[in-house]
Structure 1
Amino acid sequence: MNTKLSAFGRMKLCLRTATTAVAAGMLATTFGGCASLTQPINGVPADRLPPQFFPEPKNDLIPVDISMLSIEPPRDYQISGGDILGVYIEGVLPFNPPNQPPEPPPVNFPDADSTLPPSIGYPIAVQDDGTLSLPLIEPLDVDGLTLEQVREAIREKYIEEDILRTEKARPIVTLIRERTYDVIVVREDGGGVAGGRGLTNQNLGAQFLTGGSDRSASGGLVKLPAYQNDILHALVETGGLPGLNAKNEVKILRANQADQRMRAQFMDQWRAQQAAAALDPCACPPKLPEDPSILKIPLRVKPGVVPNITEDQVRLQDGDIVYIESRETEVFYTGGLLNGGQFPLPRDYDLDALGAMAIAGSSIGGTAAQNGLSIGGGVTGVPPGMLYILRNDECGGQVAIEVDLAKAINDPRSRPLIQPGDTLILQYKCEEQLINYGISTFFTFGIRELFRN
């Protein structure tokens, strides 16, 4: 016979059911797989690790003045090998027979992309040694002279050789075409078009993963006029400054024989170090050091630091290579209760543990429902509160950095910066999983049993 329970009886039954639910949750936690017990990660709290395990902050870095990447042209153009001059010497160039009226000098119009004005005279190329060959006289050394100085040198030479009288020596010298330098530009950032503007973290990451920012190089051979043969003009000719997909630096590989020999010697030494380290199983594999033959020019520096960039460093010569390197390896990985994936790190600002979780789609400090986590039956519980950052060291080992999210929200010192190659694993604390099992058991068993009675 069914007997209607009193209010006191119903309260006792509810308490007994809740106790049963909690006990079941404890058993389920113990035997059903608390992640902190079945898949333990031996982490070290972030505030106990030495500084060498953390990357240098970059929030305060400021851009380098881009005018330092160019050379300052002289007031007057200075002649050198490779220039083409327009020369007209009445009676000599061209030869004019006696008693014949002189021919007028030809007028030369520059190419469409040239900034030079129209010139007058017959084209005469300046030789690689800086000499100018003219009729009836020895070659003139004009290297480093201005047009006015070349004109005066020609005049004096023809008077000195008694070829022209003083009143007839009126040569005309103009610049038809300035010398150019062939420079190779290799860019792994897609040419820097638009500089990555308008990209969100999500579609920027998609570009990294789907090949939109792969290492397919753009650029090519660039002809730079004299006094524009510098890094800034080479970048402008190929799309501008490095985009968000490139490192904040420019590498210069010189074409001269001395630097090429230095690079070959450097690689031979490094391979020898690798071979020696392979014989010792306890030795760390050698890390590739900085190549002394490659010039690296940073594009962002710390406040108060004046970069030591000279004109000789930014000046480019024939065969030099300007290299913009991709930063496709600057990514971090997520797993555990976070959505698994690979995400690019920002280039110009720091990303801490909470920011990385937000990029991965986790709501910081929210409920389990806001994080898309359910404990069964449509019931949501407390969110996970422990984040582990798996970070590789220089010897191929690994350190696990433990981040208590409740503490990290209130203490910025407990939010370590993310560096390339980090793996973020989000887990429940054991007590959080216990609470969630208890809540799940109560709502799926306790409430049903309560209403049945």
Structure 2
Amino acid sequence: MNENTLPLQIAAAPADNESTASASKRLCGWLARGVAGGLLMLGLTGCSALTQPIEGIPAHRLPTEFFAEPKNDLVRVDLSELTLEPPREYLVGPGDILGVYIEDVLPYSGPNAAPSPPPVNFPDATSTLPPSIGYPIAVQEDGSLSLPLIEPINVAGLTLDQVRDAIRDAYLDNQILQPHKARPIVTIIKERTVDVIVVREDNAAGGGGSSATLRGGTDRSATGGLIKLRAYQNDILHALVETGGLPGLNAKNEVRILRASNENRAVREAFMAKYRQMRDIAMQDPCACLPELPDDPTVLRIPLRVRPGESANLTQEQITLQSGDIVYIESRETEVFYTGGLLPGGEFPLPRDYDLDVLGAMAMVGSGVYSPSGRGGGGMGGGLAGGFSSIPPGRLFVLRQTPCDGQIAIEVDLTKAINDPRSRPLIQPGDILVLQHKPEEELLNFGIATFFTFGIRELFQGN
């Protein structure tokens, strides 16, 4: 070895050691800044799976009593079950107004006077009756018809031809008319009506409405009033048609009938008294649950959608409305679900006529499966480090209420939910959907965020 070059090599050694030490310092500084920045990024992006864990039951192990009732296969009830079958001939009853003409009697004319022609009555625009002939005579509450010179005739349940024959026989029996003049004319001027109260909470003008306006944006006050239903049209279908049609999307798919008879009022009061007694007993025990209010036995619930091949099994008596009865269409404004976690927070309406599972609910709120748009475009579901995508969240929790103010958390693995329908439960009213990352996804996102935030910058600075 050349002696002249030895000092140079010895002199160069400190420079190499100095470069190595500087690189080590830079590496330690990079690691320190990377760890600190990664922890900061982890805090900013929300490490909820590690710091705020939710203990849930996997969806495929959920007991059947916690499943929502499917409604995709329901069909519209046969509307003919909601209407009365009219008789072949109109049967007279109390409240009818008949047109009666009896020569020389109604109106009275002297022996030498020419008989007066019968008056002609034209119905109003809403009536389906043809023009009638005769003087208006009302059928009394007891079903009798009062005419001049004879005792009242009971005409309840008779056809118009039978009423005419009864009038003719009565005047002949009393020898008031001769057979050749006993030719009365009987028509109907106005049918009897039934007064029914209809209360609707579906903004029933036109029978429509959008489920998007269940909460807010519209006046949720009920509409309704007193309607008069003609005889043999005093049924549920006619009451709905007279007030806007079938319930809109803002209303439940059922109709409630509240009877106004004294007997039903007494049964309803006894039912409520029994419930209040049960509630008072339960309130004395701090560990007992308050009893739920059962269905009122005096209220007739008529479903408007049934399973294929089934019917509402309604009798003619059930669908017949009497004076004072109340037809009630209830709003479904409480049929909503809520979202949180990495989903955009809010309150969303449930569809009325079809099922909504967890995947459909995520799509409804604007954050589909594997979508990088959690929290409206930010957070762990959004881009990281200036636009680099993170691993999307793969776990959804459905918080569902149970009886006695309890709760069950249903864990949905989104990967399994895509491949197995049994792993995506249906949404029920009141459910809360919380989207989170799995712990391993949080750690991978931490590594990705740290590398793209600090690692690449240090690589460029090192060069």
Please confirm whether the aligned pair reaches a TM-score higher than 0.5, indicating the same fold. yes
Could you tell me how far 1:336 is from its partner in structure 2? 0.7
Tell me which amino acid in the other structure corresponds to 1:444.
T
**Whole-Å separation in 1 of the counterparts to 2:419 and 2:219:** 37
* Mapped pair 1:165 → 2:196: no
- The one-character-per-residue Cα deviations of 1:31-65 (angstroms, maximum 9, x if unpaired) are 99631221111111112221111111110011101
**Corresponding residue for 2:121?**
108
Report the structure number with the largest CA radius of gyration. Answer: 2
* Mapped pair 1:333 → 2:342: no
**Whole-Å separation in 2 of the counterparts to 1:187 and 1:425:** 35
More displaced, 279-288 or 167-176?
A: 279-288
More displaced, 371-380 or 122-131?
A: 371-380
Tell me which amino acid in the other structure corresponds to 2:289.
C
Could you tell me how far 1:26 is from its partner in structure 2? 8.1
Selected match of 1:441 from 446, 450, 457: 450
Could you tell me how far 1:195 is from its partner in structure 2? 2.0
Selected match of 2:400 from 388, 391, 406: 391
Selected match of 2:236 from 231, 238, 241: 231
Selected match of 1:209 from 199, 202, 215: 215
**Corresponding residue for 2:316?**
311
Selected match of 1:248 from 246, 249, 253: 253
**SS at 1:401 equivalent:** strand
Could you tell me how far 1:379 is from its partner in structure 2? 2.7
Selected match of 1:402 from 411, 415, 424: 411
**SS at 1:190 equivalent:** coil
Selected match of 1:263 from 264, 268, 272: 268
**Whole-Å separation in 1 of the counterparts to 2:44 and 2:328:** 57
Pair 1:162–1:17, CA change in 2 (3 A): same
* Mapped pair 1:117 → 2:130: yes
2:395, 2:413 within 8 Å by CA — same for their partners in 1?
A: yes
**Whole-Å separation in 1 of the counterparts to 2:249 and 2:94:** 39
**SS at 2:268 equivalent:** helix
**Corresponding residue for 1:193?**
206
Pair 1:28–1:92, CA change in 2 (3 A): closer
**Whole-Å separation in 2 of the counterparts to 1:219 and 1:106:** 38
Could you tell me how far 1:21 is from its partner in structure 2? 5.6
Pair 1:262–1:92, CA change in 2 (3 A): same
2:385, 2:452 within 8 Å by CA — same for their partners in 1?
A: no
Could you tell me how far 1:355 is from its partner in structure 2? 0.6
Pair 1:265–1:370, CA change in 2 (3 A): closer
Selected match of 1:423 from 418, 422, 432: 432
Higher relative contact order (CA 8 A, sep 6+): 1
**Whole-Å separation in 2 of the counterparts to 1:324 and 1:63:** 16
- The one-character-per-residue Cα deviations of 1:352-398 (angstroms, maximum 9, x if unpaired) are 01111111110213345897223343332011111110001011111
- The one-character-per-residue Cα deviations of 1:317-354 (angstroms, maximum 9, x if unpaired) are 11111000000010000011111100110001110011
Q: Map 1:336-355 to 2 at 5 A.
A: 336-355=341-360
**SS at 2:263 equivalent:** helix
**Whole-Å separation in 1 of the counterparts to 2:419 and 2:33:** 36
Could you tell me how far 1:175 is from its partner in structure 2? 0.4
Tell me which amino acid in the other structure corresponds to 1:432.
E
Provide the TM-score with structure 2 as the length reference.
Answer: 0.89
Could you tell me how far 1:430 is from its partner in structure 2? 1.1
* Mapped pair 1:147 → 2:153: no
More displaced, 309-318 or 146-155?
A: 309-318
Could you tell me how far 1:71 is from its partner in structure 2? 0.4
Selected match of 2:101 from 75, 80, 88: 88
Q: Map 1:17-166 to 2 at 5 A.
A: 25=38, 34-166=47-179
- The one-character-per-residue Cα deviations of 1:143-194 (angstroms, maximum 9, x if unpaired) are 0101000000000111111111212110010101111111110000001525
- The one-character-per-residue Cα deviations of 1:250-297 (angstroms, maximum 9, x if unpaired) are 000111111111111111111111111111122221111111100011
Could you tell me how far 1:121 is from its partner in structure 2? 0.8
**Whole-Å separation in 2 of the counterparts to 1:32 and 1:82:** 75
CA RMSD of aligned residues (A): 2.6
Unpaired runs of 5+ residues, structure 1, are 4-9
Tell me which amino acid in the other structure corresponds to 1:114.
S
Pair 1:31–1:96, CA change in 2 (3 A): closer
2:344, 2:376 within 8 Å by CA — same for their partners in 1?
A: no
Pair 1:22–1:59, CA change in 2 (3 A): farther
**Whole-Å separation in 1 of the counterparts to 2:293 and 2:219:** 25
**Whole-Å separation in 2 of the counterparts to 1:30 and 1:326:** 43
Tell me which amino acid in the other structure corresponds to 1:337.
L
1:389, 1:422 within 8 Å by CA — same for their partners in 2?
A: yes
- The one-character-per-residue Cα deviations of 1:192-242 (angstroms, maximum 9, x if unpaired) are 52523xx5xxxx43x12224262x111211111111111111111111000
**SS at 2:455 equivalent:** helix
Could you tell me how far 1:431 is from its partner in structure 2? 1.1
Which stretches of structure 1, 4 residues or more, deviate above 6 A after TM superposition? 16-20, 30-33
Pair 1:77–1:231, CA change in 2 (3 A): same
1:183, 1:317 within 8 Å by CA — same for their partners in 2?
A: yes
2:202, 2:331 within 8 Å by CA — same for their partners in 1?
A: yes
More displaced, 416-425 or 28-37?
A: 28-37
**SS at 1:312 equivalent:** helix
1:369, 1:380 within 8 Å by CA — same for their partners in 2?
A: no
**Corresponding residue for 1:321?**
326
**SS at 1:59 equivalent:** coil
Provide the TM-score with structure 1 as the length reference.
Answer: 0.91
1:24, 1:438 within 8 Å by CA — same for their partners in 2?
A: no
More displaced, 411-420 or 368-377?
A: 368-377
1:58, 1:349 within 8 Å by CA — same for their partners in 2?
A: yes
**Whole-Å separation in 2 of the counterparts to 1:193 and 1:433:** 51
Tell me which amino acid in the other structure corresponds to 1:224.
L
2:196, 2:226 within 8 Å by CA — same for their partners in 1?
A: yes
Q: How many pairs are equivalent?
A: 436
Tell me which amino acid in the other structure corresponds to 2:277.
A
**SS at 1:209 equivalent:** coil
Pair 1:84–1:297, CA change in 2 (3 A): same
**Whole-Å separation in 2 of the counterparts to 1:75 and 1:388:** 61
